[in-house]
Structures are given as C-alpha cells and as structure tokens.
Amino acid sequence: MIQKINTLEEYHEVYRKSVEQPENFWAEIAATFKWQKKWDRVLEWNFRDPDIKWFAGGRLNITENCLDRHLETKGDQVAILWEPNHPGGEAIQLTYNQLHTEVCRLSNALKSQGIAKGDRVCLYMPMVPELAIAVLACARIGAIHSVVFAGFSSRALADRINDADASMVLTADGAYRGPKTIDLKSIVDEALTDCPGVLNVWVLKRTGSAVDMVAGRDTWWHDALEGVPAIYAAETMDAEDNLFVLYTSGSTGKPKGVMHTTGGYMVYAEYSFRNVFQYNEGDIYWCTADIGWITGHTYIVYGPLLAGATTLMFEGIPTYPDAGRFWEVTDKHQVNLFYTAPTAIRALQAKSPDFVARHNLSSLKVLGSVGEPINEEAWEWYHEQIGKKKCPIVDTWWQTETGGIMISPLAGITPLKPGFATLPLPGIQPMLVDHDGNEMKGNGVEGNLCIRFPWPSMIRSTWGDHERCRKTYFETFDNAYFTGDGCRRDAEGYYRITGRVDDVINVSGHRFGTAEIENAINEHPQVVESAVVGYPHEIKGQGIYAYVICTGLPADQQEVRAGIRATVNAFIGPIAKPDKVQFVKGLPKTRSGKIMRRVLRKIAEGGSSELGDVSTLLDPEVVEEIKEGAV
C-alpha cells in the first residue's frame, strides 16, 4: 500500500528525494500496485518531441487495481455511494464485489458488441453509477473512453465524437439536473446525423423520457446486458497504452483530446489522492465534480477506487431543492472529505446562512477546492461556516493535462495560506519563467508557470495531432511543460496561481478558448466579427464579455443579443453563453490586424481610464466608441 506522508518534515524529505532520485522514488510507489508484468524502465523522456514513457514494458490493467485487488479484504465495503438528484430518492450503494460484477458484465457486453482494445467509446451520460461502471468497463477491455460532459450541445458532442473517431456512444434517455430534465438521447440523435462512424448506441433508462430508437443502431442498456457473464478477465495493457481521451479548450482552434495512458496515470492518481486528502481507511469521500471533467475522472472514479475508498457520486446540483443540498447530503452520508469548486462555494455563500445552519457538518475533516483561483472571502467562508475552523482546506492546482493534483497543501500537514495552492506534491518540479524564457529563480517572483521534469500522469499527446501537443505545451519554453497559467512564488516559497496568461477563460471552473466562443458567435447570421474576453464575475469567477460587430447596428439589440446567446448555446452549450454582449462598429486592431485584447479586457473590467498605450492601433478612435458603449 502507498505510504502517506505524515508530517511537514517528512514532506520536505520526501520531496527532496523525489527530485534527487525521481526514478527510485516513483518505482517504490509503483511497486505497491498489481502488475501483470513488471516494467523494464521507470522513465524515458524528452520534452522536445515530446516523448514520455513511464514504466515502459510494464503490463497491467487499471481496473484490476481499482477492483480485483480489493476484493479479498474489502469486497463488502461500499465502493460507490450514489445520491440521486431528487431528495428523498433512494441512495444506491455498490460494494466492491458488486461494482466488480457490474463492470465485468458491461465489459462482456461491450466485447460482444465488437468493441476491441484501442477503440474509442464516447460516454454522454448523467451522473449515475452506470457512468462510472462504463468508464471502468472500457478500461477493463482496453477501449479508450471519451467522456463528454452531458451539458455540451449536440454540435459540441458531434465534434468530439468525430475527432476521436468513436464507434460507439453510451447514453441515457434523459438526465435530471435539479428541477429540469434534459433529453440526452435526442441530443445524441441530433449529433449522430453528423457522425457516420458511430455504429452502436446504448441507452440507459433513467428519466423515462420518450425516445426514438433507431433500428440496427440503438439498444437499451438493460437489453444489452441480458444474460451476460459476471466475470471478465481484464485485458492486458502496456503501461503506455492509452487509457482515455478527454477534450479540453485551449487558446486556439477547436477543443483538443488530451491523451492519458495507463500505468503512470494510475500511480499518480492514487498517490495524489491519498496524500492530498490524507485519506484514512473508512473515510467517506465526496467530490462534487461531474465525471465529464478531469476532476471527476481522477478524483471520483480512479483515485478513490485505487485507494479502496468509498466515493460518493451525486447526480444533482448544489441548489436543488435549495441551497442546503450539499450540506444535507454531507450530513446524511456522514461525509469526511469534501471536494468542490470555488464557483459553488461562492454561489452558496451568497444564500442565507440558514441553509448551512440547518445541517450537522461535524463529520467533515478535510475540505478541498479545485478548478479556479479561490478568492479570500470564499476561502474564509468555507473555512468558518463549513469547516467550523477545524478542517484544513486543500486548494488544489492542476489541469486536464496534468492528470492529477500538482500544487496543493497536504491536508493537516502543510500550513495554509488563503489564496495559495502552497507547495508542489513530491515529484512535481515547478519553475517560473519570464517572457524571454529565462527561469526566475528564488522567492518573491512572478511569471509563467512551467514544469521542468516529467511526472507519471502527464499528458502524452493530443488525439490525432501530436504536433499540436508539442506546439501547445512544449514549444513556448525550451525543455519545459508550459501550463498556460501565471503564478507567483512568495517570500516563503508558496505558490499562488494568478490565472491564465493565454486566451483561455475560466467560467465557473470550466475552460473555454475565447476563439472557440467567437467562432460560435460568428455563426449568427447577423454577426460579422466578434471578440470575447473574460471579466471578473462575483459567482462564476470570470464572466464572458462579447464585443460584436453586426451587419449594421441591430434595430432590436435585445433580440439579436438573445439570438447570439442561443447560437452559442447550440454550438457549445449553455455554460458558454456570453453574460454581456456589446454591439460595436469596430474592434481595436493593430496595423498587423491583431485585436488588442488587453484594451477590451480593461473596458470589460470597468477600468477604461487606464488603457495604456494605444498608439499602435490602426484606428484609436474605435476605443473611445467602445468605452462609451460599455455594458
């Protein structure tokens, strides 16, 4: 079993070892897992191609480590504890034995449908146990899962299905989201009109919504599982075989499929889970993310199950039936470790304190935060009102690309500082770099956050386009992985993430490229050109501000604004709809035609008096006009 770090001195000692002898360090941790064949080499790498291999030659199946290896000692312990959307609905408990059986059954069913090792299977599902089962069944047969968050639109889904060339989609008739029902199957049907590669769709019955089943393509989930055997011998995978692809946005182009492989991801998922949350046997752990995001992959499914924990899965939303739901569920299931996003904390903080006071939160031991910078007010509220000042808050910085938590306190061990992700995990070597690529050594510096040495769960490639991976992450700074984040290292050596330094905005913890939203807006028939920037938003962290040029100033601005929002909804999904739309006659462009986003950001922030040097603009007057019309 992986040994946890127990004290701050031990952390420093382990950290030093992890930097001085990374291979020995990770080999010792990897040895705690079940391998079908031991690796030949711990690490081979270069950041130029990039080419990164952890535990090459090793053979394993991650689900044997999530499931089979626990059966003897904790077969009857709850693995997945599921809380439905509707309060009063029945919670489901799946023990490790039961989860193993369900995963084996689905594995057999997928296999008999013809899904083979390396095939891509797209999962577009509600937060129900079957989603976790499907993730694990794919891994068990060696298929590559591509989970798409069920809040994305049919076009966004189609893009992801086609990019990964998935041959199968697993979905449900519908999903409950608070008071709403979303007809997932009809969204899938619409998407598939553009996806000729998809041969099979399995449909889980969840809401009972009416669905059209396409003959020869669609099968009910329960029919597919009928009579299948409950044992499936896990496929043998190479440590560097692909485990999953997960789409995420960057500053340019369409979202890209981040690739993670099997062995290194597994090792880092459990190591980081145990250490950051300081998980103890028997703890009830709840991460409120959706499995459609990396947080759900690593810290609802893989990390906790690898550690043999009880992981709570919640189908609903924080504000249904009221803003006390998280705390009601915490009390009901006696949750010990709780992990959520700042946007949820801020939304709940804005509601009456009664929603918290009504519930007993004394089971809580550790609180976590992820996805965006947590502001001090939200940190303090979380600490005082939820943690009653006795629970450490782990502010965990990481990314889809990093696979696991990179910079974070270890709960109860690392002294906390609100707003700071504090110190890197063992094995993680952050580096701050200035614009010219020079490393900024010492403390009290701020720059671009890079990582100078590989870690086991790092991105290996982007699906179908390795060059894009190289360009995005490994080209900007020589011999380093570039995160896209800005960061300050204070006098004590503590890290504080200051936000993205590229054209990515973070809305309620969701990443969007500004270009991606602009492309959607530009699909509106009256739009000629647009520019999108982020601006500080009280609840969402960042809001979306769109400057839009139309064919003539619209007569009915409200109508066109609504039309633009609907277009973004159709091309990406409701989470990407602009909060503010300003109609403009021109955009501030330099002589080379580049939009000066810095100016647009300032105006969106309401700071139009300090725009800086605009002398290189082609038409500085445009700026005056935009300032006047700011919304």
Which residues of this chain interact with ligand WTA, rule CB under 6 A?
248, 293-295, 370-373, 395-400, 421, 483-485, 497, 500, 506, 511
Identify which of residues 94 and 413 has a Cβ nearer to ligand WTA in the complex. 413
Residue 138 near residue 125 (C-beta atoms within 8 A): no
Q: In the complex, what is the shortest distance from the CB of residue 484 to ligand WTA, in angstroms, rounded to a whole number?
A: 6
Residues 180-218, buried b or exposed e (16+ Cβ, 10 A)?
Answer: ebbbbbbbbbebbeebeebebbbbbebbebebeeeeeeb
Identify which of residues 279 and 398 has a Cβ nearer to ligand WTA in the complex. 398
- Of 224, 231, 249, give the one whose Cα is nearest residue 121: 224
Question: What residues does 95 pair with on adjacent strands?
Answer: 78
Identify which of residues 15 and 299 has a Cβ nearer to ligand WTA in the complex. 299
Q: In the complex, what is the shortest distance from the CB of residue 381 to ligand WTA, in angstroms, rounded to a whole number?
A: 17
Identify which of residues 65 and 483 has a Cβ nearer to ligand WTA in the complex. 483
Helix (H) or strand (E) holding 341: none
Q: In the complex, what is the shortest distance from the CB of residue 148 to ligand WTA, in angstroms, rounded to a whole number?
A: 14
Identify which of residues 373 and 513 has a Cβ nearer to ligand WTA in the complex. 373
My answer on whether omega of the bond before 179 falls inside 30° of 0, hence cis, is no
Count other Cβ atoms within 10 Å, centred on residue 593: 7
Structure tokens at 556: 């009915």
Q: In the complex, what is the shortest distance from the CB of residue 603 to ligand WTA, in angstroms, rounded to a whole number?
A: 23
Question: What residues does 533 pair with on adjacent strands?
Answer: 545
Q: In the complex, what is the shortest distance from the CB of residue 249 to ligand WTA, in angstroms, rounded to a whole number?
A: 9
Identify which of residues 496 and 602 has a Cβ nearer to ligand WTA in the complex. 496
Residue 614 near residue 620 (C-beta atoms within 8 A): yes
Count other Cβ atoms within 10 Å, centred on residue 328: 17
Q: In the complex, what is the shortest distance from the CB of residue 135 to ligand WTA, in angstroms, rounded to a whole number?
A: 17
Identify which of residues 123 and 143 has a Cβ nearer to ligand WTA in the complex. 123
Q: How far is residue 277's CA from residue 190's CA, in Å, rounded to a whole number?
A: 41
- Of 295, 294, 291, 240, give the one whose Cα is nearest residue 262: 240
Q: In the complex, what is the shortest distance from the CB of residue 152 to ligand WTA, in angstroms, rounded to a whole number?
A: 14
Q: In the complex, what is the shortest distance from the CB of residue 457 to ligand WTA, in angstroms, rounded to a whole number?
A: 12
Q: In the complex, what is the shortest distance from the CB of residue 418 to ligand WTA, in angstroms, rounded to a whole number?
A: 12
Structure tokens at 194: 């553009």
DSSP string, 365-404: -EEEEESSPPPHHHHHHIIIIITTTTS-EEEEB--GGG-S
Q: How far is residue 264's CA from residue 270's CA, in Å, rounded to a whole number?
A: 10
Residue nearest to ligand WTA (CB): 400
Q: In the complex, what is the shortest distance from the CB of residue 289 to ligand WTA, in angstroms, rounded to a whole number?
A: 8
Report CA-CA distances (Å) from 154 to 167, 188, 190, 265, 310. 17, 6, 6, 30, 34
Identify which of residues 483 and 530 has a Cβ nearer to ligand WTA in the complex. 483
Identify which of residues 57 and 419 has a Cβ nearer to ligand WTA in the complex. 419
Q: In the complex, what is the shortest distance from the CB of residue 295 to ligand WTA, in angstroms, rounded to a whole number?
A: 5
Provide, for the chain, the percentages of residues in helix, strand and coil under a 3-state DSSP scheme, each rounded to the nearest 5.
Answer: 30, 25, 40
Identify which of residues 105 and 496 has a Cβ nearer to ligand WTA in the complex. 496
Q: How far is residue 330's CA from residue 359's CA, in Å, rounded to a whole number?
A: 8
Burial of residue 511, with CB atoms counted within 10 A of its CB: 0-12 exposed, 13-18 middle, 19 or more buried: buried
What is the number of residues in the chain? 631
Identify which of residues 405 and 600 has a Cβ nearer to ligand WTA in the complex. 405
Count other Cβ atoms within 10 Å, centred on residue 19: 16
Q: In the complex, what is the shortest distance from the CB of residue 485 to ligand WTA, in angstroms, rounded to a whole number?
A: 5
My answer on whether omega of the bond before 50 falls inside 30° of 0, hence cis, is yes
Q: In the complex, what is the shortest distance from the CB of residue 213 to ligand WTA, in angstroms, rounded to a whole number?
A: 34
Identify which of residues 235 and 503 has a Cβ nearer to ligand WTA in the complex. 503
- The pairing of strands 168-172 and 200-204 is parallel
Identify which of residues 359 and 417 has a Cβ nearer to ligand WTA in the complex. 417
Q: How far is residue 302's CA from residue 521's CA, in Å, rounded to a whole number?
A: 37
